[in-house]
Amino acid sequence: MITPPAMTFREWNGPLTADLVREPAKFGLGQVPSRLVPDATTKAICGFCSTGCGLKIHLKDGEAINLTPDPDYPVNIGTACPKGWEALSVLDAPDRAKMPVLHGKEVDWDTALRYFCDTMRGILDKHGPEAAAFLSTGQIVFEEMAFLGALAKFGMGMIHGDGNTRQCMATAVTAYKESFGFDAPPFTYGDFEESDVLVFIGANPCIAHPIMWQRVLRNQRNPEIIVVDPRFTETAMAATQHYAIKPKSDLTLLYGIAHLIIRDGGLDSAFIADHTRRFDEFAVLVADFTPERVSAETGISAERLVHFAKTIIEGTPRVSFWWTMGVNQSHQATRTAQAIINLALMTGNIGKPGTGANSITGQCNAMGSRLFSNTTNLLGGHDFRNPAHREKVAAATGIPVERIPDRPSLAYDQIIKAADEGTVKAIWFVATNPSHSWIDQNKMNRVLDKLEFLVVQDMYCTTETAKRAHLVLPAAGWGEKEGCFINSERRIGYSPKVRRAPGQALADFHIFRLIAHYWGCEDLFRGWQTPESAFRILQRCSENQPCDITGIEGHEMLRKSGGVQWPLSREQGSKFEVSSFKERRLFEDGQFYTPDKRAQFVFDPPEAAPEQRSEEYPLILMTGRGTSAQWHTETRTGKSAVLAKMMPEELMVDVNPVDAERLGLCDGASVRVVSKRAELSAKLRVTTCVNPGEVFLPMHDNRVNQLTHASFDPHSRQPSYKHSAVRIEA
């Protein structure tokens, strides 16, 4: 039992019983914790994007009062973007969730947790294990994410649970698994600096990953920078070549480039023969993608296509390919990502400095969610369907094997469909705000309103989803709890607790421990006392997997070393020295994770996007990030006065001058943007940054997803947020 005066940050995450929720003050909740040395500095990892910047947190009397970017962290080397600088101020917002709220009334934790367990159990007992689901996030530390997945599935008996990473990274996961045999982004950020040619496809890092872009700017090799984006973005402006293709014509373009690389002698035949499979069939497919055809379908002239291919051929062997949501959010997203992978494989641009087929992740812990959320994959990148994998994870976690489901979850959209049809009756949302962020939002909200039980666990009580919830569980946020994130280059970084959460908000980790206790399954989770003990369990789950992290000596090693990229097996760990392990890329030996160690060419012919222009809706709406100061649904960044100055005051819709003239509208006009599903008002921004026939809206306004057309990639089930038909009216 812990005694209050000796309370430390670590111990807050320590043993917990129901006493805690009855007498929170006794356990230090509502008091300033006493361990931290006054006026000292500690190190953390930013909790917004997947760049994973290191921050120095400055403390006074045990509380974080300020922060500065960490000059010694290998990721950001002393820089941070506006969100990182403002990470502490958004914790002080007045709408922080401070108490559990049940049917609109504040209640104590004991009442909330009894209600949660009674209601969930009632639904699962009455309707079976498929009647309740959880939907989690890439924005909490992976020890918490794994705890949620383990608790819901192994403890409470759910089968279905997915996360907002479905909206974001599912495509890259599926593409890598099929092509490389495991979900394994191969790069290290050093590759930004070591490339001769960087190709960005459907990515706008100047806005979405500004500190990765800083790494590009450090490149001393005078690189060619190619951007493939229908819009003339900030990144396209900084590039040396911009290909403003027709929306969703990427697959055709990439096959056309492959065609030209074959035609113009750019193949690495030795690499293809020794390390890949199915190239010959791929070559047959791309033979039809002549420059003439590709030019007609993409809107890029044949001469420019040849120049694009020539740049890759001449840049080889140091060409790196980078992609983000312009690719992952498409009706043929997985095949498009694989068309990028195919280009890297056929030119041998993989496993060497400055190369790679590199998917940039989105949220601070998207990579952690891919490996450890226990949703699509069983903990540690395992397969629920594989009996040997279930046995292994049972042994590693001490959970009886019969409690591990023998099939993966339904995908997010399938869970929502099941809720619409009434088979899923309860959903528990943790750290995600789908009432704003899900595609075809009005439909989503109608489904949410049908649920018998909607639980939201969030830092703020005012999110669009929390407002619809029957029960809101108040959560501590970044900086108010400890644990690890895994960034885009597979770097695992530790972030400490440097603030006290407001009111009775608790770390998600604590909430899960309490639920295990109230549910009566805490015996199964004896090993999950603290984030660090959960980390140890997850290390055991990762053993002998491509993502093996058994060589990491706990959180302390991560704190001291500037983060560690996976894998780090026990054997590698025994030789670990910071200098030699600072930057590592995968596949240096040309050995992939497939059974025959060869990477696979995967391809399918291009198809048209489901919703096309019509007379009534003649424009294609694209959506995405607006400014580097805005984060998603703005629950956090919307609370900073500093960031507010860096974003537009009103929603602006970008329209080409040709369309504006046709509509007889001028810059700044008030307009309505109308799709088959809904309409919204916005200010017109007349700009050549979008092509005629195309318009753009930032995703941060909570009405934008009312317009979007719900279509999904068939393999990854990721929503295609960037292709809907609309019209504009005065």
Ligand X SMILES: Nc1nc2c(c(=O)[nH]1)N[C@H]1C(S)=C(S)[C@@H](COP(=O)(O)OP(=O)(O)OC[C@H]3O[C@@H](n4cnc5c(=O)[nH]c(N)nc54)[C@H](O)[C@@H]3O)O[C@H]1N2
Q: Which of 13, 62, 83, 694 touches ligand SF4 by CB under 6 A?
A: 83
- Bridge partners (DSSP) of residue 64 are 59
Contact mark string toward Mo ion, 161..190, x via CB under 5 A = -------x----------------------
Q: Give the angle subtended at the CA of 115 by the CAs of 109 and 120, to the nearest 5°.
A: 125
Taking the alpha carbons at both ends of the chain, their separation in whole angstroms is 67
Q: What is the enclosing helix (H) or strand (E) of 345?
A: helix 333-346
Residues in the chain: 730
In this chain, which stretch among 484-492, 527-535, 664-672, 700-708 interacts with ligand X, using CB under 6 A? Answer: 700-708
Q: Shortest distance, CB of residue 362 to Mo ion, whole angstroms?
A: 3
Q: Is 356 in the site for Mo ion (CB under 5 A)?
A: no
Which of 704, 716, 700, 720 lies closest to 83, judged by CA? 700
Q: Which is nearer to ligand X, 561 or 720 (CB)?
A: 720
Using CA atoms, how far apart are residues 524 and 287, in angstroms rounded to an integer? 57
Minimum CB distance to ligand X smaller for 238 or for 283:
238
- Tell me the window of 217-225, 380-388, 398-406, 620-628 that interacts with ligand X (CB under 6 A): 620-628
d(CA 27, CA 5): 9
Complex with ligand SF4: residue 338 or 630, whichever CB lies closer: 630
Q: Are the C-beta atoms of residues 359 and 212 closer than 8 Å to each other?
A: no
Contact status, residue 518 vs residue 113, Cβ threshold 8 Å: yes
User: Between residues 722 and 727, which has the closer beta carbon with respect to ligand X?
Assistant: 722
Residues 25-54 interacting with ligand SF4 (rule: CB under 6 A): 46, 48-49, 51-53
Is residue 711 involved in binding ligand X (CB under 6 A)?
Answer: no
Query: In this chain, which of 354, 362, 368, 405 binds Mo ion, going by CB under 5 A?
Result: 362
CA count, 13 A, side-chain hemisphere, 265: 1
Q: Which two tokens stand for residue 124?
A: 């699962």
Residue 485 or residue 593: which is nearer to Mo ion going by CB?
A: 485
What phi, psi does 97 have (nearest 5°)? -75, 120
Nearer Cβ to ligand X, position 354 or 698?
Answer: 698
Total of chain residues touching ligand SF4, rule CB under 6 A: 14
Please choose which of Mo ion, ligand SF4, ligand X, none residue 652 contacts, taking the beta carbon within 5 to 8 angstroms, the exact cut-off set by kind: none
Instruction: Name the binder of 84 from ligand SF4, Mo ion, ligand X, none, CB < 5-8 A by kind.
Output: ligand SF4
Give the Cα separation of 31 and 672 in Å (integer). Answer: 50
Distances (CA, A) of 489 to 131, 196, 426, 485, 583: 37, 19, 36, 11, 9
Binding flag, residue 432, ligand X (CB under 6 A): yes
Q: Among the candidate windows 280-288, 362-370, 569-577, 678-686, which touches Mo ion by CB under 5 A? A: 362-370
Segment near ligand X (CB under 6 A), from 70-78, 206-214, 216-224, 656-664?
Answer: 206-214
Q: How far is the CB of 193 from Mo ion (least distance, A)?
A: 25
Q: Is 718 in the site for ligand X (CB under 6 A)?
A: no
362 forms part of the interface with ligand X (CB under 6 A): yes
Binding residue (CB under 6 A) for ligand X from 21, 80, 272, 459: 459
Instruction: Give the interface segment with ligand SF4, choosing from 80-88, 222-230, 603-611, 714-722 (CB under 6 A).
Output: 80-88
* 145-to-165, 173, 411, 430, 575 alpha-carbon distances in Å: 12, 17, 17, 9, 30
Q: Does residue number 84 form part of the binding site for ligand SF4 (CB under 6 A)?
A: yes
Query: From the CB of 478, what's the least distance to ligand SF4, in Å?
Result: 10
Place of tokens 């819009």: 231
How many helices (H) and strands (E) in the chain? 30, 26
Does 135 contact ligand X by CB under 6 A? no
Q: Is 81 in the site for ligand SF4 (CB under 6 A)?
A: yes
Residue number, 328 or 457, with CB nearest to Mo ion: 328
| Span 218-237, contacts to ligand X by CB under 6 A | 228-231, 233
* Least Cβ distance, residue 296 to ligand X (angstroms): 17
Q: Residue 82 or residue 181: which is nearer to ligand X going by CB?
A: 82
Alpha-carbon distances of 525 from 22, 145, 406, 529, rounded to whole Å: 21, 14, 20, 8
Closest CA to 401 of 387, 412, 419: 387
SS3 state at 201: strand
Q: Give one DSSP letter per residue of 118-178, joined into a string.
A: HHHHHHHHHH-TTSEEEEE-SSS-HHHHHHHHHIIIIIS---EEEEGGGGTTHHHHHHHHH
Q: Please list every residue from 236 through 255 that binds ligand X, using CB under 6 A.
A: 247-248, 250
Q: Based on CB atoms, which residue is closest to ligand X, 84 or 551?
A: 84
Q: CB of 644: closest distance to ligand SF4 in angstroms?
A: 17
Q: Write down the least CB distance from residue 127 to ligand SF4, Å.
A: 41
80 binds ligand SF4 per the rule CB under 6 A: yes
What CA–CA distance (Å, rounded) separates 619 from 728?
Answer: 8
For position 719 contacting Mo ion by CB under 5 A, the verdict is no
Task: Look at strands 483-486 and 101-102 and give their pairing.
Answer: unpaired
Is position 379 an interface residue for ligand SF4 (rule: CB under 6 A)?
A: no
Instruction: Output the smallest distance, CB 680 to ligand X, in A.
Output: 12
Bridge pairing between strands 694-698 and 652-655: antiparallel
Q: How many residues bind Mo ion (CB under 5 A)?
A: 2
- Pick the stretch among 15-23, 68-76, 182-190, 702-710 that binds ligand X (CB under 6 A): 702-710
Strand ranges in 325-417 using DSSP code E only, listed in sequence order: 356-359
Report CA dihedral (609, 615, 616, 618) to the nearest 10 degrees: 60
Using CA atoms, how far apart are residues 727 and 126, in angstroms rounded to an integer? 47
CA 233/CA 242 separation, integer angstroms: 9
168 or 547: whose CB is closer to Mo ion? 168
Task: Look at residue 211 and give the partner it binds from ligand X, ligand SF4, Mo ion, none, a contact being a CB closer than 5 to 8 Å depending on partner kind.
Answer: ligand SF4
**Measured between alpha carbons, how far is residue 128 from residues 134, 162, 339, 403 in Å?**
15, 18, 42, 14
Q: Do 95 and 462 contact (CB within 8 A), yes or no?
A: yes
Asked whether position 164 contacts ligand X by CB under 6 A, the answer is: yes
By beta-carbon proximity to ligand SF4, the closer residue of 83 and 242 is 83
Interface positions, 177-236, toward ligand SF4 (CB under 6 A): 209-211
Q: Judged by CB under 6 A, does residue 638 bind ligand SF4?
A: no
Scanning 426-580, the segments in alpha helix (DSSP H) are 434-437, 441-450, 464-468, 508-519, 531-542, 554-561, 570-574
Q: Which stretch binds ligand SF4 (CB under 6 A): 74-82, 144-152, 381-389, 528-536?
A: 74-82
- List residues binding ligand X (CB under 6 A): 49, 137, 139-140, 164, 167-168, 201-204, 207-209, 228-231, 233, 247-248, 250, 324-326, 329, 362-363, 430-434, 437, 457-460, 463, 475, 477-478, 508, 622-625, 628, 630-633, 635-636, 699, 704-705, 708, 721-722
- List residues binding ligand SF4 (CB under 6 A): 46, 48-49, 51-53, 76, 80-81, 83-84, 209-211
- List residues binding Mo ion (CB under 5 A): 168, 362
